[in-house]
Structure 1
Amino acid sequence: MAHGTAADILITIKKRRMKTNKLYIGLFLLMAVMGCKKSELEQSVPDQLTVDNFWINKDRALSGLSAAYSQLEGFVGWDNYVEARSVREFYREDYVVPGADAFNYPWWTEHYNFEFTSGNYAVDLLWRENYRGINFANQVLENVGKMSAAAIDDAGRKQILAEAKFLRAYYHFKLLTNYSKVIIRDKVPTSEADLSKGFSERAEVYGFILKDLQEAEPDLPLRSARPATELGRVTKGAAQAYLGKVNLYRVSDDQANAATYYTEAAKWLEKVILSNEYQLDNNFLGMFNGTTKNSTESIFELQQTSDASSGAVYRSYLSDWVAASELGGYGEIYGTPALLTEMLKEGKIANGNYDVRVYQTMYFNDAYFNDTTTPRVYGSTYNEIFGATAKTIAFRKWIPAGPDRIGFSNAINVPLMRYADVLLMYAEVLNEQQKSGDAVTWINKVRGRAGLPGVSLSGKAPVFEQIIHERVMEFTLEGSRFYDLRRWGLLAQKMQAAGRKFSADKAFYPTPLKETTNNPSTP
């Protein structure tokens, strides 16, 4: 069950560095303490960390917070991450197909075929690791608030608590978007009753998430106020962006109150825009190949590093999975002809090429990639790599700038929330509020970054279709498509069009078997 035993709470915390802040080795002991019986805690062991003697100063508070951040990575195996994105998550999208090697891993292809069950390893992993993140956040919230004024300054305390609240909300939202039934964990479990807590109503979980985000937002700094040593930590803009996103996603759960949620979503997304803290990055590809980290477009980004000097090595496996076998990767995932058709449907622009986002998202057999004067596939042409008659649609997103970095040693950051997403969500909200003309303004802003002319559209339906298209152009292979189709009510239709196996009961993951077995309140 989630946090069911001391073993669940006692985890191997990796040495994550939030730039200047490292996890203390003592956190290993702290997690053990959290799983101990009261009688064990009462024994006097001078050199052992306890709840009382760990939370003694700001550095320790930051270490506890770092543990909560560490679950954004949540690495428990070469093919299993909580949030670092994986082909497993992408397989539920309609525009991808598995590569040959993927069939060696049935717990992956079960996602592509929508055959996953409650016993699927990845279904259990996502549940377990997100609840661990929640547990860490709860430890911060319960203990930092009790620290004395002498131990931590008031401003520092407020900011740390705000970050922990954001992370607790984030992990709950990740669970809510993947499982139809989840459990609100708002405190560190201390009794069997806590551990055996039952499911919460989805409306209640949405309310809990929004409350945490709203309470966090005032005490979080603007991006511009964060020093370079704190890149990757939560900002006010991140809280506002997710307040917009959570409200927008809530519409599909409660259509009767859609107008209220659209109003709230617009309010928070507007705050991000009016803050002038973010702008679209003209180097689109750089955000996904490691050359541009924490760009002006980044609102919330998972940090990766291959610098082992501090013991904090966080590396992405994505390039090895996503890169075609012809490029030195395992070739676990490829695009479909339907994806290429969608991305090319507006035709070529004035420079004789297609939308730049097409070329920066994937490699395909086209004059652009076969230009011998400017070889664009790692110094070669597409034909030289894949063959003159090949129809392979190989992804370029998540592939490092140099072929020598394909593999398990690259450190490509993972953008979790981009300004482009804020603009397109805002356009979607405006369109739903019958403000299609205003929505087009923000659509065109995103298109402008790609060097495209603006579109002239009127009416809700045409604007909505354009938003669908723009989200494909922007967010292919970023883990957005499946959730978009589901909340729009288009999932079954699009899967059928793609010739995929799908049934309505696979729109969400089932509760993991381990949870239903160990927790009598989760039948």
Structure 2
Amino acid sequence: MKRSLLYTSFLCFSMVLFAGCKKELLEQQSPDKLTTDNFWTTRDRALTGLSAAYSQLESFIGWDNFVEARSCREYYREDFVEPGSDAYNYSWWMEIYNFNYNSGNYAIDLLWRDNYRGINFSNQVLEQVAAMKPEQIDDSSRNEILAEAHFLRAYYYFKLLTNYRKIIIRDKVPQGETDLPKAPATRPEVWDFIIADLKAAEPKLPLRSERPGTELGRVTKGAAQAYLGKVLIYRAGEDAANNKTYYAEAATWLEKVIKSNEYSLSANYLGMFNGTLTNSTESVFELQQTNDESNGAYYKSQVSDWIAASELGGYGEIYGTPRLLTEMQKEGKVATDGLYDHRIYNTIFFNDAYFNDPANLRVYGGLYKDVFTTNAIAFRKWIPAKLEQLGNDVAINFPLMRLSDVKLLDAEAQNALGATDLAMTQINDVRARAGMPALHLTTVPDVFHQLMHERVMEFTLEGSRFYDLRRWGLLVQNMHDAGREITEDKGFYPLPLKETLNNPLAK
């Protein structure tokens, strides 16, 4: 999405809210001001409102939100990472890493704020587009825009529910201060709400192949199906009494994605994370960035600088641990070409002949050929392919849902249902892309332990590990194994201080 479109979105919504206050105070309406009555009048205006609903995905706007706060929240809570030396200068980062944060932590506040902004924008779309007249918008456009807004609202709630133990359901645009105080819902109520939104979205969304190139990044039917599967599996981790029901339904939705023939695993794994491959055949839902400034685009960031090792000229705010390397190397050099699992080389830089081969200089053309003769374990994901891009805003798309995740989630559901053969089919498909031989495991515990390993190999530094460990009931033990101190109550963030101060019913 372009800067002009998003800027217009924020401007229009600001003007609508401002004009509403003026109308109440002065009991008059200026004919040249946008209000909720005269903004939602065309399909293009509806798309502008929808753009605002997309704008809060992953807290993308801003350095604090996306680069620092999101990176700390998503990565520092993984048991296979450690902060770089500079991170110790930022108390709110280290509070996340050390699990000694409180309700006033800045990163926790931003997560709450941005996702509720996204919910509010989505609610505006749902209310206003539904009320538009037939002469203002055609039925096909209306249905598709409403479906996208349902999906986005579900996405924001899922983000909140997987991070906070208690959240508040806001299913309409507040009409005044009296609408703002509201008590948190129960977790089952929120799970039901998320699933209902996704099911409302799925039938009206187009397939990926039906989206023109100008609409890359917008939600598709496959994305709704994939997230239905993921949400149901996460819910299964909280509800042991009904988990078989959730696993079975999750498998049904995930199989729809797999069998749709809309997606395939990409041979270029690294390209999905270094800016050279965008919206690949594997991408089910992807956060868009761009270097195209012809229309004032500003969808690019400096996450690469934050992650890149100081040895490479980055800020070096995060490194892998020896425990991560041990896990990633544990199968040995059994790939078809005699190397380790190829995902190792595409995820981390480490002291290995692969990176220290003078005949094949793989680290920025050999400029840093001596760096990885040390014990540093640096991340390669989210680092640009070209050295000169470090130190600048870089457009690297962030895949939020990939086919490999769909396959491994399906394998997890099938295994939980006892169908180990079906589970291994999906696991082996993902392994084959990494040059790894097929496995023939037949017991549920063996398949599960392999799944744990595959998810480390496939999704390290993609914000999955913490949530996986928690839903499996293995969070505290693995953190302790990593020398990290955590108690069960730190598996979720507390309600932000601002919310409890401003909402008397938030407890």
TM-score of the two chains, using structure 1 as the length reference: 0.94
Q: How far apart in 1 are the matches of 2:68 and 2:465?
A: 16
SS at match of 1:473: helix
Task: Tell me what 1:502 maps to.
Answer: 486
Pair 195,223 (structure 1): closer, same or farther in 2 beyond 3 Å: same
Q: How far apart in 2 are the matches of 1:451 and 1:207?
A: 40
Task: Tell me what 1:107 maps to.
Answer: 92
2:170 is equivalent to residue 185 of structure 1: yes
2:419 is equivalent to residue 419 of structure 1: no
SS at match of 1:415: strand
Task: Tell me what 1:344 maps to.
Answer: 329
2:205 is equivalent to residue 224 of structure 1: no
Pair 309,25 (structure 1): closer, same or farther in 2 beyond 3 Å: farther
Pair 33,133 (structure 1): closer, same or farther in 2 beyond 3 Å: farther
Letter matched to residue 134 of structure 1: I
Q: Give, in angstroms, the shift of residue 87 of structure 1.
A: 3.8
Q: Give, in angstroms, the shift of residue 352 of structure 1.
A: 2.4
Q: How far apart in 2 are the matches of 1:73 and 1:486?
A: 21
Letter matched to residue 378 of structure 1: Y
Task: Tell me what 2:3 maps to.
Answer: 15
Q: Give, in angstroms, the shift of residue 425 of structure 1.
A: 0.2
- Match among 233, 237, 240 for residue 248 of structure 1: 233
Task: Tell me what 1:324 maps to.
Answer: 309
Q: Give, in angstroms, the shift of residue 491 of structure 1.
A: 0.1
2:90 is equivalent to residue 90 of structure 1: no
Q: Give, in angstroms, the shift of residue 190 of structure 1.
A: 1.0
Q: Give, in angstroms, the shift of residue 25 of structure 1.
A: 4.0
- Match runs of 1:97-136 below 5 Å: 97-136=82-121
Q: How far apart in 2 are the matches of 1:175 and 1:83?
A: 18
Q: How far apart in 1 are the matches of 2:471 and 2:404?
A: 19
Q: How far apart in 2 are the matches of 1:292 and 1:78?
A: 24
Q: Comparing 131-140 with 253-262, which one deviates more in the overlay?
A: 253-262
Contact 2:70 2:107 (C-alpha < 8 Å) held by counterparts: no
- Match among 450, 456, 471 for residue 466 of structure 1: 450
Q: Give, in angstroms, the shift of residue 85 of structure 1.
A: 4.8
2:262 is equivalent to residue 277 of structure 1: yes
Q: Give, in angstroms, the shift of residue 385 of structure 1.
A: 2.6
Q: Deviations over 1:53-85 (max 9, x none)?
A: 000100000000000001115346423229995
Question: Which runs of 4 or more aligned residues in structure 1 lie more than 6 Å from their structure 2 counterparts after TM superposition?
Answer: none
Contact 1:15 1:23 (C-alpha < 8 Å) held by counterparts: no
Contact 1:87 1:332 (C-alpha < 8 Å) held by counterparts: no
Contact 1:87 1:321 (C-alpha < 8 Å) held by counterparts: no
Q: How far apart in 1 are the matches of 2:69 and 2:109?
A: 16
Task: Tell me what 2:342 maps to.
Answer: 356
- Match runs of 1:188-203 below 5 Å: 188-203=173-188
Q: How far apart in 2 are the matches of 1:28 and 1:14?
A: 19
Q: Deviations over 1:472-492 (max 9, x none)?
A: 000000000000000000000
Q: Give, in angstroms, the shift of residue 15 of structure 1.
A: 3.0
Q: How far apart in 2 are the matches of 1:490 and 1:351?
A: 34
Contact 1:364 1:382 (C-alpha < 8 Å) held by counterparts: no
Q: Give, in angstroms, the shift of residue 318 of structure 1.
A: 1.6
SS at match of 1:308: coil
Q: How far apart in 2 are the matches of 1:513 and 1:408?
A: 34
Q: Give, in angstroms, the shift of residue 42 of structure 1.
A: 4.5
Pair 73,405 (structure 1): closer, same or farther in 2 beyond 3 Å: same
Q: Comparing 232-241 with 37-46, which one deviates more in the overlay?
A: 37-46
Task: Tell me what 1:384 maps to.
Answer: 370
* Seq. identity, %: 64
Q: Give, in angstroms, the shift of residue 317 of structure 1.
A: 2.0
Mind listing any 5+ residue stretches in structure 1 that lack a counterpart? 1-12
Contact 1:244 1:269 (C-alpha < 8 Å) held by counterparts: yes
Q: Comparing 304-313 with 410-419, which one deviates more in the overlay?
A: 304-313
Task: Tell me what 2:282 maps to.
Answer: 297
- Match among 491, 500, 507 for residue 516 of structure 1: 500
Letter matched to residue 473 of structure 2: G
Pair 22,310 (structure 1): closer, same or farther in 2 beyond 3 Å: farther
Q: How far apart in 2 are the matches of 1:90 and 1:17?
A: 31
2:459 is equivalent to residue 475 of structure 1: yes
Q: Deviations over 1:101-122 (max 9, x none)?
A: 1111111111110011100001
SS at match of 1:353: coil
Q: How far apart in 2 are the matches of 1:423 and 1:83?
A: 31
Task: Tell me what 1:451 maps to.
Answer: 435
Q: Give, in angstroms, the shift of residue 384 of structure 1.
A: 1.5
Task: Tell me what 1:141 maps to.
Answer: 126
Mind listing any 5+ residue stretches in structure 2 that lack a counterpart? none
Contact 2:67 2:302 (C-alpha < 8 Å) held by counterparts: no
Q: How far apart in 2 are the matches of 1:465 and 1:381?
A: 39
Q: How far apart in 2 are the matches of 1:510 and 1:178?
A: 9
Q: How far apart in 1 are the matches of 2:4 and 2:469?
A: 35
Task: Tell me what 1:335 maps to.
Answer: 320
Task: Tell me what 1:9 maps to.
Answer: none
RMSD of equivalent CA atoms:
1.9
Task: Tell me what 1:7 maps to.
Answer: none
Letter matched to residue 203 of structure 1: P
Pair 41,86 (structure 1): closer, same or farther in 2 beyond 3 Å: farther
Contact 1:33 1:41 (C-alpha < 8 Å) held by counterparts: no
2:35 is equivalent to residue 50 of structure 1: yes
Q: Give, in angstroms, the shift of residue 32 of structure 1.
A: 2.7
